[in-house]
Amino acid sequence: MATRTLLRPTGFVDSPFGHDGKVARLAGGLNWFAAVELLTIEGQRRVASELIAVAEVESRLDDQLARQWQALTAARPPLQLGERTVRLDQPQVMGILNVTPDSFSDGGRFSGSHDAAIAGADMTAAGAAIIDVGGESTRPGSSPVWEGDEIDRVVPVIRQLAGGGAAISIDTRKGEVARVAVGAGARLVNDVSALTYDPRLADVTAAAGVPIVLMHHQGDPQTMQDNPRYGDVLVEVYLWLEERIAAAEAAGIARERILVDPGFGFGKSVAHNLELMNGLAIFHSLGCPLVLGASRKRTIGALSNEAPADQRLGGSIALALKAVEQGAHIVRVHDVPETAQALRVWRGLRDQALTPRT
């Protein structure tokens, strides 16, 4: 069985000052780390781990680890979404705008495209860099939506928001929906299936030249929470995303236009989700911007006396902050004003830590 090593950054420090050669910057963001866990894997499981200081890393790098190290420490270029530039040297908020009757948290909230567009504009004003518009619920137990219905739901909203200057993402698994949405002004595709649901979506994305988020999932929405199982969830999700990146590149999508999402809550138990969050920084060695969507998910309810979806704000912010502490570039959230405020305070703390003392 083939053996290889993965790199997981850890030992995060507030500031690099006074630590020359002892710390490294994570993915060009506002986080610095002083140690790396070397995870030896056989097949899809960890068989050993070793914690080493950043100062020792160079002496341990073979060609394969050198590529991971470069990916871990390289800056992520900004996303160019039409006329909007979204910088990835600091965490950004993606606002969730579900134009559906059955989404798990806010299904049926909007009675029409005008109401949805107003909500999207409010999210932008509150600090969302991107508005993610979706017309098909992929909550546990949901059924697929005909693409014509999905198009009818999302296109009027996208047109209104894009016309107002917002950066729009289309949350879809379907090629035809993405094609029409891009024509209406969407400039990013967010695919919860990572190009496994509809083979047309890869061609549409490549032809349009827009970025795409590839999200991990296990099973389909109808069955994904029926006893999900992993031998080693962190390693399995990492290797799966590695394969999907390669598949996207083979389909003609440039690597610099690929983002990854470990798929919090998509075919995962509470324990799986928590393990992914604790090890989130490992995904930076894939070399792609990291997206995390944990807002209002069931794990929060499970840890807080089964609080309903609309009472999970505190847990959602806790997970967003945990993500950005490990270098997540984009957090996908329902509660934009509150999350944006939390990130502004976090950013203030980071700016102070990164200000040299005089």
pLDDT band at 101; cut points 50, 70, 90: confident
Does the pTM of the predicted model rise above 0.85? yes
pLDDT reported for residue 185: 98
Under a CB-based contact definition with an 8 Å cutoff, are residues 72 and 284 in contact? yes
pLDDT reported for residue 259: 98
Q: Which of 25-34, 218-227, 329-338 has the lowest mean pLDDT?
A: 218-227
What token pair was written down for 164? 């107002």
Catalytic residue of the set 297, 298, 312, 350: 297
Bridge partner list, 190: 171, 213
Kindly tell me if the per-residue pLDDT of 260 is higher than 80: yes
- 290-299 pLDDT, tens digit each: 999 999 999 9
pLDDT reported for residue 110: 57
pLDDT reported for residue 240: 98
* Bridge-based pairing state of the strands 24-25 and 32-42: antiparallel
Domains in the chain (CATH in brackets) are 3-73 (no CATH), 79-351 (3.20.20.20)
Axis-axis angle for helices 270-278, 313-325 (nearest 10): 40
- 60-92 pLDDT, tens digit each: 999 999 999 999 999 999 999 999 999 999 999
Whether 332 is catalytic:
yes
Kindly tell me if the per-residue pLDDT of 111 is higher than 60: no
pLDDT band at 109; cut points 50, 70, 90: low
pLDDT band at 357; cut points 50, 70, 90: confident
Whether 268 is catalytic:
no
Report the mean per-residue pLDDT for the chain: 94
